[in-house]
Structures are given as C-alpha cells and as structure tokens.
Amino acid sequence: MNLSRIRLIEEDGCEIRMIHFDRVEQARREVIADHELDRLSLTYKVLGDPNRLKIVMALKNVEMCVCDLAAFTGLTDSAISHQLRRLKDLALVKSRRDGRIIYYSLDDEHVKRLLTIGLEHARE
C-alpha cells in the first residue's frame, strides 16, 4: 500500500492531503446527515454536564419536581428549571403537571440504556 500523502486539489482550489484515500472515501460515503450528527452531539452534550447528569441520574428511578431536584443538587430552583428545559428540548426528560407542581421523569428507555452503558464504560 502506498503510505505517502496524496495531494488532492479540490474545485475551490483547496489542497487536501491524506494517506488512505479509500478510507476517507468510505467514511464520506457512510457519514450520517449533518442534522442527525448535530442532534446526536447535542444529546451527548446535554448529558456532559455534571449537574445535568446528576438530575438525570436522580430521575432514573423516581419522578421529581423542580424544588426536590434543587434540594438534591444544591442548585437554585432557577438553575434546575433552566437545565430541565434543555433536557426536555432533547427529549431526555418529560414532564406532567399536577396542580402547581410539575413532575419530571426520564423520557424513555433509551435514556436509561445510555446511562447504563456510559457507566459501564466509565467504570472499566
């Protein structure tokens, strides 16, 4: 196999250098759509903050309201509310209202599996 860099000049005049042209081509063929990649990375990013992750972990087994989560994490109600919104936007968490109280819980089983596998990896 040729192991020196290939120089590829694109239409726009940019020069691209690579070693394994075939692998780069394969990766390009198999790449997922930009909007999917963005949504996927946002999903991980939202779990990538310790306080948000703590919220999600707490909701693994029990429904909680904003002030419970504030008491649990030591954050203000406002901070919790901000974070829950981000978690809800990405469908990691869902909510139901019961009078003045809004109960939050995990949105689906995928989230639990994501946490379980992440933890398996982090612990090994």
Partner DNA sequence: TGAATACTTGAACATTTGTGCATATATTAA
Partner DNA sequence: TTAATATATGCACAAATGTTCAAGTATTCA
Q: Can you give the binding site for DNA, defined by CB under 7 A?
A: 3-5, 17, 19, 45, 48-49, 51-52, 65-67, 75-86, 95, 97, 99-103
Q: Which is nearer to DNA, 5 or 110 (CB)?
A: 5
Residue 78 binds what, of DNA, a second copy, none (CB under 5 to 8 Å, by partner type)? DNA
Q: Which is nearer to a second copy, 85 or 103 (CB)?
A: 103
CA distance 53 to 100: 25
Q: Minimum distance between the CB of residue 108 and a second copy, rounded to whole angstroms?
A: 7
CA distance 38 to 48: 15
CA distance 11 to 60: 51
8 A C-beta contact, residue 82 and residue 88:
no
